[in-house]
A and B are shown apart, each in its own frame.
Chain A
Amino acid sequence: MEKRPRSFYLLAAFFALFLVFLYGPTFTIAILSFQGPQGGLTFPMRGVSLHWFRELFQQQAVGDIWGSFGRSFVLGVMVMVATVVISVMGGLAFRKRFPGSGVVFYLIVTSLVIPSILISLGVGLIFSQAGLKVHWSTSGFGSQLTWTLPFGLLIMFAVFNRFDKSFEEAARDQGANAWQTIWSVVLPIIAPMLIGVALFGFTLSYDEFARTLLTAGSYNTLPLEIYGMTTNVTTPVIFALGTLTTVFSFLIIGVFLLTVIVANKRRARRGSDAGKGLV
C-alpha cells in the first residue's frame, strides 16, 4: 500500500476531534446521569447511583414523561408509514413530467426551508379559527409531515434517477401490467432505500420540536415534555431522561441499519438481483 501523505494524519486528527465535538457532550451527560443523590448538573460526581433514573419512574416527580413517550412513539410510527407511502407515490409520479410537477417540486423545497415556527403558527391559527382542537395525532401529524416528506421525497428522487429502467421494461415485455411491475419489480429493487426513508420518517418525527410546539394540543410529545423540563428542572433527572431517549434513538438507528445489513446479506446468499437495479 502506498504511503500516507502527512496531510492524511493532520486530517485524521481533525476528524477525530470533530467526532469528540459531536459525541463528547452526549457522553458527558450520560456519565452525569449516574450522579449520586446529592449531585448537581456538573462535575464533580458525588457518588455513583441510579437515583435519577429511579426518579424518572416516579410519575409525580417530573410530569407525564411515559405518556409523552408513548404518544411520541405512536406518532413516530404514523409519520413513518405516511412518509414511506407518500414518498414512494410521489417518487413514482415524478418519474414523468406532469403538468404542475415543477410547482410541486418548489413546494417541496419550500416545505424543507420554511422556518418551522411558521408551520406551527399557521396550522395552530387555522385550527383555532376553524373551531377545531389541535391534537398531536391530527394537526401535529400533518405539521410533522411537512418536515419528513421533503427528506423522503428527495431520497426517492435520487433513487429513481439511478433506477435502471430495463428491469421494468423486461417485466412489461413478459406481460406484467403496470401494477404488477411496480409491486413485484420496482418496489423490491428500491426496498433498501425505503428502510432509509422509514428511518428518516420515524426519527425526525420522534425528535421534532418546533413544528409540534403549537400543534400538539394539551397532550405533549416527548420533546415538548423535555423542553418544559428544561425551564423548571435543575437536577440530573433531565440528564437521565436525555440519556434514555438518546439510547432509544441509537437502538432505533441500530435496528434500521441491521435490517439493511441482514437484507443485503440474505440477497447476496440467494444470489438475487434485487436491489441491484440502481445504476
Chain B
Amino acid sequence: MANQPNVTFGALGAGRAGPGMSDAMSGWLLSAPLMLVLAFFLILPIIMIVIVSFWGATEFSIYPAFQFDNYEFLLSSPVTYQVFLATIKYAIITWVCTLLIGFTIAYFLAFHIRTQTWQIILFLLCTIPFWTSNIIRMISWIPFLGRNGLANSALVGMGIVDQPVEWLLYSDFSVILAFVHLYTLFMVVPIFNTMMRIDRSLIEAAYDNGATGLQTLTNVIIPLTKPGIMIGSIFVVTLVMGDFITVRFMSGSQKANVGRLISNDIALLQYPSACATAVVLLVTVLLVIAVLLRFVDIRKEL
C-alpha cells in the first residue's frame, strides 16, 4: 500500500456526493457514537483534570478554587525533577531494548521465513501474550528473579556468584525487564507490518548492484521501515511514560516514576495535586508524540 499514497482514507470518496444525505451529515451521524464516547470519557476527563489541578485540598476533601499552589509546589520540589528524570530514563532504555529486539524479530519473520503460513503462525506466537493479563505476566517473574529464584539458583549453581544476587528483583533492572517483556510486541507488529510492504525487488536490486547484506539492511530496509519504527516507538514510549503499576509492582514500591507520583496522591485523596502532576505528564507525553509524529504520517501507514 505504501506505493499508493493516494489511497488514504478520506480521499477515497472524494468528488462523489452521495445521493440523499450529504457526506458531512452521514459522516457525523456515523461517527456520533464514537464522538459521544470520546467527549464523555476522554475530553471531559481531561478538562476536569485541568480544572481540578487549580483546586485546593484539605486532608479529607477538595474544594473549588483558582490557585497555582499545586503547580508551584510541584515545580519547586526537587523530587519532581528526579521522578521525571527517572521516567524518561525508563522510557529511553526500554525504547532502545524493545527497538533492537523488535526489529530483529520482525526482520527474521519478514525476510527469513519463506512460507506465509509459517509467517502467520510465528507472528501469532509473538502477539498472543498481548491478549493476556499484564499483571499475571508481571507476577510470573517472581519465581525467576527472587532471592531464591531460578536465576539466582542457576548463578550460584554455576559458581558465577557466591551468594544470591539481590538486584534481580525489586530494582531498576526488574522494572525494565518487565517493560521489555510487556511491550516488545508493540514494536514487532508495526515494524513487521511495514517490512511486509517493502517491494522485494528493491532488495534484489541492492544485491545485484553489489551491496552486502549489511549495506542492504542499512541503506534499503531500515529507511523503508522507518514508519513502522516510529509507530512502535510512539506505543512503547507513551506506555512506559504513563505507567504506574509496573514500576510499583516490579520495584516493590522502591522506585518512583510520574505515574506513581499521581497514584500516591490519589491514594492520599490529594486529587488537586494529582491533577497538576497529571497535566504536566500529559503535556510531556504529547510533546514527545508531536516530535515523533514529525517523522511519520500515521494516516498513510494504515
Binding site for B on A (CB under 8 A): 1, 5, 7-8, 11-12, 14-15, 18-19, 21-26, 28-29, 32, 41-43, 85-86, 89-90, 92-101, 104-105, 107-119, 121-123, 125-126, 129, 142-143, 145-146, 149, 153-154, 157-158, 160-162, 165, 178, 199-200, 203-204, 206-207, 209-210, 214, 223, 226-227, 230, 238-239, 242, 245-246, 249-250, 252-253, 257
Contact A89–B150 (Cβ < 8 Å): no
- Contact residue among A41, A92, A154, A246 (Cβ-Cβ distance under 8 Å from B136): A246
Contact B143–A32 (Cβ < 8 Å): yes
Q: Return B39 CB to nearest CB of chain A, in Å.
A: 9
Is B263 engaged at the interface, CB distance under 8 Å to the other chain? yes
Q: What are 18 contact pairs spanning A and B, CB under 8 A?
A: A5-B213, A25-B181, A26-B140, A29-B139, A89-B33, A94-B27, A95-B12, A97-B10, A113-B285, A114-B238, A115-B278, A116-B242, A145-B37, A160-B12, A161-B7, A162-B1, A207-B133, A210-B244
Q: Return B178 CB to nearest CB of chain A, in Å.
A: 10
- Contact residue among B129, B136, B245 (Cβ-Cβ distance under 8 Å from A245): B136
Closest to A143 in B: B41
Closest to B153 in A: A43
Residue of B30, B244, B289 with highest tally of chain A CB at under 10 A: B30
Binding site for A on B (CB under 8 A): 1, 7-14, 18, 20-21, 23-24, 26-31, 33-35, 37-38, 40-46, 48-49, 52, 101, 104-105, 107-109, 112, 114, 122, 124-126, 128-129, 131-137, 139-144, 146, 148-150, 153, 181, 184, 213, 234, 238, 241-245, 249, 259, 262-263, 266, 271, 274-275, 278, 281-282, 285-286, 289, 298-299, 302
Q: Which residues of B contact A108 (CB under 8 A)?
A: 34, 38
A95 to B16, CA, bound (A): 12
- Contact residue among B13, B42, B275 (Cβ-Cβ distance under 8 Å from A146): B42
Q: A121-B49, A161-B1, A207-B132 are in contact. Are A107 and B37 (CB under 8 A)?
A: no
Q: Which residues of B contact A86 (CB under 8 A)?
A: 33-34, 37
Contact A149–B37 (Cβ < 8 Å): yes
- Contact residue among A100, A105, A121, A253 (Cβ-Cβ distance under 8 Å from B45): A121
Contact B11–A97 (Cβ < 8 Å): yes
A112 to B134, CA, bound (A): 17
In the complex, the 9 A-B pairs of residues with the closest C-beta atoms, listed nearest first: A122-B45, A115-B242, A98-B27, A93-B30, A25-B140, A97-B10, A203-B131, A93-B31, A242-B136
Q: Which residues of A contact B131 (CB under 8 A)?
A: 199-200, 203-204, 207, 249, 252-253
Q: Return A89 CB to nearest CB of chain B, in Å.
A: 5
Q: A86-B33, A157-B9 are in contact. Are A118 and B49 (CB under 8 A)?
A: yes
Contact B143–A29 (Cβ < 8 Å): yes
Q: Which residues of B contact A209 (CB under 8 A)?
A: 134-135, 245
Contact B135–A153 (Cβ < 8 Å): no
Contact A114–B143 (Cβ < 8 Å): no
- Contact residue among A113, A125, A146, A149 (Cβ-Cβ distance under 8 Å from B49): A125
Q: A115-B241, A143-B41 are in contact. Are A121 and B275 (CB under 8 A)?
A: yes
Q: Which residues of B contact A14 (CB under 8 A)?
A: 104-105, 108
Contact A93–B281 (Cβ < 8 Å): no
Closest to B178 in A: A25
Contact A104–B133 (Cβ < 8 Å): no
Q: Return A200 CB to nearest CB of chain B, in Å.
A: 8
Q: Which residues of A contact B114 (CB under 8 A)?
A: 1
A200 to B137, CA, bound (A): 18
Q: Which residues of B contact A226 (CB under 8 A)?
A: 133, 135-136, 139
A178 to B20, CA, bound (A): 10
Q: Which residues of B contact A157 (CB under 8 A)?
A: 9, 299, 302
Q: A12-B112, A117-B278, A253-B131 are in contact. Are A230 and B139 (CB under 8 A)?
A: yes
A113 to B107, CA, bound (A): 26
Q: A96-B23, A161-B302, A242-B136 are in contact. Are A122 and B1 (CB under 8 A)?
A: no
Residue of A14, A90, A118 with highest tally of chain B CB at under 10 A: A118
Contact B282–A214 (Cβ < 8 Å): no
Q: Return B198 CB to nearest CB of chain A, in Å.
A: 17
Residue of B23, B139, B141 with highest tally of chain A CB at under 10 A: B139
Q: Which residues of B contact A145 (CB under 8 A)?
A: 37, 41
Contact B41–A93 (Cβ < 8 Å): no
Given A41-B143, A246-B132, output 19 extra A-B contacts at Cβ < 8 Å: A25-B137, A26-B132, A28-B144, A29-B140, A42-B142, A93-B29, A94-B9, A97-B23, A113-B238, A113-B285, A121-B49, A121-B274, A157-B299, A161-B1, A200-B131, A209-B245, A239-B140, A242-B139, A242-B140
Q: A117-B259, A209-B245 are in contact. Are A101 and B34 (CB under 8 A)?
A: no
Q: Which residues of A contact B43 (CB under 8 A)?
A: 107
